Amino acid sequence: MKLGLGTWRFFLAFLVVISHLWSGMLDGPAAYAVWGFFILSGFLMTHVLTHKYGDSRGGLADYAYNRFLRIYPAYVVAILAGVACLLILPKFGVTLSSLNPQFNWPHSIREWAANLLLLAVPAPGLFVPVSGALAVEVCVYVLMPLLAFSRAAAWISLILSVLLNLKYGLTIETFGERYSSFLTCFMVFSCGCLLSQYREKLNIFRAPLISVIVWLLHCLVWLKYDQWPWTYGLYASIILSGWVVLSLSSQKTGKLDSVLGDLSYPLYLFHTTVAVCLIPLGIKMRSFEFFAISFVLTIIVSWGVVMLIDKPLAGLKKKKNVGVT
C-alpha cells in the first residue's frame, strides 16, 4: 500500500495521542502534527473549493453545509462523552484535569460559547480538551473561500500572520500564544492554500518517501536542542509538512488509506475522554501501558463513530461538482 493523505492524517492524530498519553514520548512532534493538520486543511479546502464547489452562492452554501456535517455531529457526541466523564468520574476520585488541565467545566458565558460553538477564544474549561485547535480550524473555514479564490489574499494573510508571529518573538515563553492563537495559526493555513494554488509548479519537488523520512528525522532534533520545537522547529515543520502534503497528494491509494483517514478525526476527538476512564482502574497515568490500552480503545470508539455517525451522514452531503480547473 502506498502512503496517502489518509494515512498521513491518521499518523498525525497518532502523534497527538501518544504525546498526550505517554510521558516518554519525544517533545515536539505533537505540535508539528497539529500544524501539519492545519497546512493539510488549507491545501485540501482550497482544492475542493476551486474544483468542486466554486465561488457561487450555492457552491459556498454547499461547502458550509458539508463542513458542518463533517465536524459537528461527531463533536457533539464528544461533548456528551466529556460531560458524562465530568459528572461521573469525580465520584470515583478522578480529577480529569490531572490528565489535561483544560478538561473541566466551563466557568463563563465565553467558555460555554467556545465549547458549544467552537469559537477560537481562550477557554480553560473544555468538554473536549483538544477542541481548541479544532475551533481554530473551524474559524478558518469561514475565511478560506476568500483565500482559495485569490492568491493575493492568501499572500497578504500569510505576510500579516508571519509579522504577527515575529512580533510575539520566537521564544519558549511565547510558544503557547503563537501555537494556538487564531491569527498566528492563520499563517499555516495560508501556506496550505498557496501550496494548493502553486501545486503544478511545485510538483517537481514531490518525493513521497524522502519527505516523510525527513519529517520524522526533524522530530529528533529535540534530542540535541531541547528548545528547538518551541522556537524555530515549529516553523521548520511548516515547510516539511507542506513537502509531505505535496508529495502524497497525487499518490494512488487503496481502501486502507481511506479507512485510516476516516478514523483520524474521532481518534483526535476522543482519546482524552477514553483515557480518563482508565484512571479508576489503577493503571499508572501516562505510562506506556496507559497509552497502549487507551489507543486501542479509542480506535474501537472511533470505528463506532465512523460507522454510526460519519457514514450515515455522508449520504446527506451535497455532491455538487462545478468542474472548475
pLDDT at 204: 97
pLDDT band at 89 (very low <50, low <70, confident <90, very high): very high
pTM above 0.85, yes or no: yes
Percent of the chain with pLDDT over 70: 98
Q: Is the pLDDT of residue 132 over 60?
A: yes
Q: Is the pLDDT of residue 105 over 60?
A: yes
Q: Is the pLDDT of residue 325 over 50?
A: no
Cα–Cα dist 294/278, whole Å: 8
More confident residue, 49 or 1: 49
pLDDT band at 122 (very low <50, low <70, confident <90, very high): confident
- The predicted model gives 28-53 an average pLDDT of 97
pLDDT tens digits, one per residue of 252-282: 889 999 999 999 999 999 999 999 999 999 9
Closest of 41, 18, 114, 77 to residue 269, by C-alpha: 77
Q: Is the pLDDT of residue 177 over 70?
A: yes
The conformation of residue 283, written as its DSSP 8-state character, comes to: P
pLDDT tens digits, one per residue of 278-315: 999 999 999 999 999 999 999 999 999 999 999 999 99
- The predicted model gives 33-51 an average pLDDT of 97
Q: Is the pLDDT of residue 1 over 80?
A: no
- The predicted model gives 111-140 an average pLDDT of 92
CA 154, 157, 161, 163 torsion-angle sign: positive
pLDDT at 320: 61
pLDDT at 174: 96
DSSP string covering 10-42:
HHHHHHHHHHHH-TTSPSSHHHHHHHHHHHHHH
Cα–Cα dist 3/139, whole Å: 29
Cα–Cα dist 273/78, whole Å: 8
Q: Is the pLDDT of residue 156 over 80?
A: yes
The conformation of residue 103, written as its DSSP 8-state character, comes to: B
What is the chain's mean pLDDT, rounded? 95
- The predicted model gives 136-143 an average pLDDT of 95
